[in-house]
Amino acid sequence: MAKQAIHTSAAPAALGTYSQGIRAGQTIYLSGQLGLDPVTGNLREDIDAQIDQAFLNLRAVAEAGGATLDDAVKLTLYLTDLANFAKVNETMARYFTQPFPARATVQVSALPKGAGFEVEAVVVFP
């Protein structure tokens, strides 16, 4: 099966040797997105802004691949502090509609660039 890299300047450039997304057949694997401003590359100032920006970045990569966040079937969320779990839920409700994607949430000790939140997704075209 052929795979196609997805790239958009509407989301931050990859911080390493990976693609923002990869399409394989009817599935897009969206790499983890931090709350980085895609223009400046700087981390947003607080956790609320980081969560919002990370979902904006995720949406931008999904759209570059011809999908929407409503096509997401699985999310993985990474938080450096699970005390922010409710904030993530509130923000997710603005970006996704029911039925919501399956999801796992993991607390981690650190994220790139000192971020407090990261999100990755798997999208399947209908």
The Cα 126–Cα 71 span in angstroms is 7
Question: What average pLDDT score do residues 21-44 get?
Answer: 96
Q: What is the CA radius of gyration of the chain?
A: 14
Nearest CA to 69 out of 95, 51, 91 is that of 95
Residue 124: pLDDT over 80: yes
Structure confidence at residue 1 (pLDDT): 77
Residue 18 has a pLDDT of: 95
Amino acid identity, position 43:
L
Domain boundaries, given as residue ranges, for the chain: 3-124
pLDDT for the residue 15: 83
Average pLDDT of every residue of the chain:
96
Cβ atoms of residues 8 and 24 within 8 Å: no
Tokens (6 digits) for 34: 């931090």
Phi and psi at residue 125, to the nearest 5°: -75, 140
Cis upstream peptide for 12 (omega within 30°): no
The share of the chain scoring above pLDDT 70, in percent, equals: 100
Nearest C-alpha neighbor of 61 from the set 26, 93, 32: 32
Do the bridges between strand 117-124 and strand 102-107 make them parallel or antiparallel, or are there none, so unpaired?
A: unpaired
Q: Which two tokens stand for residue 6?
A: 């997805």
With beta carbons less than 8 A apart as the criterion, state whether 61 and 31 touch: yes
Mean pLDDT of 10-21: 93
pLDDT tens sequence across 83-109: 999 999 999 999 999 999 999 999 999
The CATH number of 3-124, from 3.40.50.720, 3.30.1330.40, 3.30.390.10, 3.30.70.260, is 3.30.1330.40
